[in-house]
């Protein structure tokens, strides 16, 4: 058995009950196999074993008091996965499904994604099984303060810099940052996604969604295509989805559907993103409310968004939201581009369907890297004690996404797998991390 497959088998055996982590490692090691097996220096240095084992895992208790006076306990996590190319960097997710497997898969992906950004950032991820839905602002604050009361001792501007992810946006980052300052008596750039009045960067809010569309736009351009007049379906209606829709529309696409975990809305005229922003960003409501604003739109409860006919699909909600059946439906309906705004939204079987049918499929570690890339720009601005203009950060984001596309596309070509961006992204990302690890010795 090859070195790569031996490591994969061991990872699965030694980390039981972690299906999402197994899935992420399987995708990556399968893509890396021919490349790694042709380079015995990686096996000699145990690079894959080290890549798949987090440098440190922190699990802690988060006690807080709800509005009725009841004591509540959640689990808190921070997985400091790999610091070969810089401080651990990656978001915090607050969602009831959060468990070690999910945080480890996200941390593993983050290491490779951050490598692709070209910025000096390692990878980490954290979060909690806390459910922010239906909680008052005071409850959110109490939870964030308690979470940071443990987390603060493990993070630092040159050590580990958390940010947002599902359930963690500017409000939560504000509460976390306030508590960090109070505990440490210092105003360091230890979190990204901060508000603009206290060290945040312009474009960070838009970065993941805009970056996704910038990368796909570059890929379309290099294939003689564009977003102009394309029909697009975007799942989710959170931070990533909203700004993916906004940018796709600015580039001339017609986005006909969005969703949340309850169902999806179809608007044949094209989604009015102002309505979605009002429902989601201002009222923290549900996508079903869209039809209150626009009666001609149709809301459907449950899954099914991938049955809608489209040219381009952008899954921007969560892991494994698009399976083999969904992929087959998309292909049958003529979809020819899929870009992962979320982390690992397509199952491995779904990605196989896309590749077999020559769909241009860009995996999340490349397609959604714009968010963390602008986080790294936020870190730079904080260190320099300056803030750049909207135009400057936007230009840098576009450049970074174009570079990522060119990088993953040329690596795919080099290994004789043109347009296989799973192979291109994993090898391109791995090379840089592995090179840094080789040079730093056995650590």
Residues catalogued as catalytic: 125
Tell me, by CB under 6 A, how many residues bind ligand 2IT. 12
Which residue, 337 or 372, has its beta carbon nearer to ligand 2IT?
A: 372
Q: What is the DSSP string of 330-375?
A: HHHTT--EEE--SSS-B-HHHHHHHHHTT-EEE-HHHHTTHHHHHH
Residue number, 36 or 166, with CB nearest to ligand NDP: 166
Is residue 144 within the footprint of ligand NDP (CB under 6 A)?
no
Spatial separation of the C-alpha atoms in residues 125 and 107, rounded to whole Å? 5
8 Å CB contact between 415 and 22: no
36 CA to centre of own chain: 25
Closer to ligand 2IT by Cβ: residue 116 or 423: 116
Structure tokens at 35: 């490349």
Shortest spacing between CB 349 and ligand NDP, in angstroms: 18
* Torsion region of 176: left, alpha or beta (phi above 0 gives left; psi -120 to 50 gives alpha): alpha
Shortest-Cβ-distance residue relative to ligand 2IT: 91
Kindly state whether residue 261 participates in binding ligand NDP, applying the rule CB under 6 A: yes
- Beta partners for 91? 163
C-beta closer to ligand 2IT: residue 107 or 424:
107
The span of 38-46, 88-96, 126-134, 228-236 binding ligand 2IT (CB under 6 A) equals 88-96
Q: Is 237 in the site for ligand NDP (CB under 6 A)?
A: yes
Cβ atoms within 10 Å of 416's Cβ, excluding its own: 9
107 near ligand NDP, rule: CB under 6 A: no
- Site for ligand NDP contains 371 (CB under 6 A): yes
Rounded least distance, CB 261 to ligand NDP, Å: 3
Interface segment toward ligand NDP; rule CB under 6 A; list 64-72, 76-84, 269-277, 335-343: 335-343
**Residues 3 and 42 sit within 8 Å (Cβ to Cβ):** yes
| 316 scored as a contact of ligand NDP (CB under 6 A) | yes
Count, residues in the chain: 443
Any idea what the Cα angle at residue 122 is, between residues 119 and 128, rounded to 5°?
A: 120
The H or E element spanning position 424 is helix 421-439
- Under the binding rule (CB under 6 A), the answer on residue 155 touching ligand 2IT is no
> Which residue's CB is nearer to ligand 2IT, number 254 or number 280?
280
Which is nearer to ligand NDP, 4 or 80 (by Cβ)?
80
- Cα(25)–Cα(20) distance, integer angstroms: 9
Closest CA to 401 of 339, 317, 314: 339
Angle between helices 204-222 and 239-250 (to 10 degrees): 50
Closer residue to ligand NDP in complex, CB, 52/342: 342
Return the residue of 245, 322, 342, 401 that touches ligand NDP, per CB under 6 A: 342
Tokens of 81: 């996965």
260 contacts ligand 2IT (rule: CB under 6 A): no
Q: Does 206 contact ligand NDP by CB under 6 A?
A: no
Task: Report the residue from 189, 209, 315, 371 that binds ligand 2IT according to the rule CB under 6 A.
Answer: 371
- Chosen from ligand NDP, ligand 2IT, none, partner binding at 89 (C-beta under 5 to 8 Å by type): ligand 2IT
3-state secondary structure 367-407: HCCHHHHHHHHHHHHHHHCCCCCHHHHHHHHHHHHHHHHHH
DSSP SS3 for 119: coil
The stretch near ligand 2IT (CB under 6 A) out of 61-69, 71-79, 370-378, 390-398 is 370-378
Which residue in 54, 124, 341, 424 binds ligand NDP (CB under 6 A)? 341
Q: How far is residue 241's CA from residue 259's CA, in Å, rounded to a whole number? A: 9
Residues that bind ligand 2IT (CB under 6 A): 89-91, 110, 113, 163, 165, 192, 343, 371-372, 375
Residues that bind ligand NDP (CB under 6 A): 164-167, 208, 236-241, 260-262, 316-318, 321, 341-343, 368, 371
């Amino acid at each position: 058995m090859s070195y790569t497959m031996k490591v994969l088998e061991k990872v699965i055996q030694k980390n039981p009950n972690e299906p999402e982590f197994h899935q992420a490692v399987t995708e990556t090691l399968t893509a890396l196999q021919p490349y790694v097996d042709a380079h015995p220096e990686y096996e000699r240095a145990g690079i894959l074993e080290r890549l798949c084992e987090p440098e440190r895992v922190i699990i802690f208790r988060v006690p807080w008091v709800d509005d009725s006076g009841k004591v509540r306990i959640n689990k808190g996590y921070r997985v400091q996965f790999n610091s070969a190319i810089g401080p651990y960097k990656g978001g915090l997710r607050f969602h009831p499904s959060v468990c070690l497997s999910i945080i480890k898969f996200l941390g593993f992906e983050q290491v490779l994604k951050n490598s692709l950004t070209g910025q000096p950032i390692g990878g980490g991820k954290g979060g909690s099984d806390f459910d922010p839905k239906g909680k008052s602002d005071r409850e959110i604050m109490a939870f964030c303060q308690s979470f940071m009361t443990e987390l603060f001792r493990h993070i630092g501007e040159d050590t580990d810099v958390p940010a947002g992810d599902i359930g963690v946006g500017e409000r939560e980052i504000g509460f976390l940052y306030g508590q960090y300052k109070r505990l440490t008596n210092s105003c360091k750039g230890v979190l990204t996604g901060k508000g603009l009045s206290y060290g945040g960067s312009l474009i960070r809010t838009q970065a993941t969604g805009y970056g996704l569309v910038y990368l796909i736009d570059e890929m379309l351009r290099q294939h003689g295509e564009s977003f102009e007049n394309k029909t697009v379906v975007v799942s989710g209606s959170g931070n990533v989805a909203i700004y993916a829709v906004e940018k796709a529309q600015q580039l001339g696409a017609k986005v006909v559907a969005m969703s949340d975990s309850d169902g999806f809305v179809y608007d044949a005229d094209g989604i009015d993103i102002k309505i979605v922003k009002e429902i989601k960003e201002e009222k923290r409501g549900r996508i079903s409310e869209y039809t209150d604003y626009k009666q001609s739109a149709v809301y459907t409860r449950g899954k099914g968004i991938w049955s809608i006919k489209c040219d381009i699909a952008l899954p921007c909600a969560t892991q494994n939201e698009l399976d083999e059946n969904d992929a087959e439906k998309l292909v049958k309906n003529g979809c020819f581009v899929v870009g992962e705004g979320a982390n690992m939204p397509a199952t491995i079987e779904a990605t196989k369907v896309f590749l077999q049918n020559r769909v241009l499929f860009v995996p999340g570690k490349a397609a959604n890297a714009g968010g963390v890339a602008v986080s790294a720009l936020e870190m730079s601005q904080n260190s320099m004690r300056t803030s750049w203009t909207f135009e400057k950060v936007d230009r840098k984001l576009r450049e970074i996404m174009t570079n990522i596309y060119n990088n993953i596309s040329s690596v795919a070509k080099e290994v004789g797998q043109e347009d296989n961006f799973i192979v291109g992204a994993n090898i391109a990302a791995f090379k840089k991390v592995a090179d840094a690890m080789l040079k730093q010795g056995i650590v």
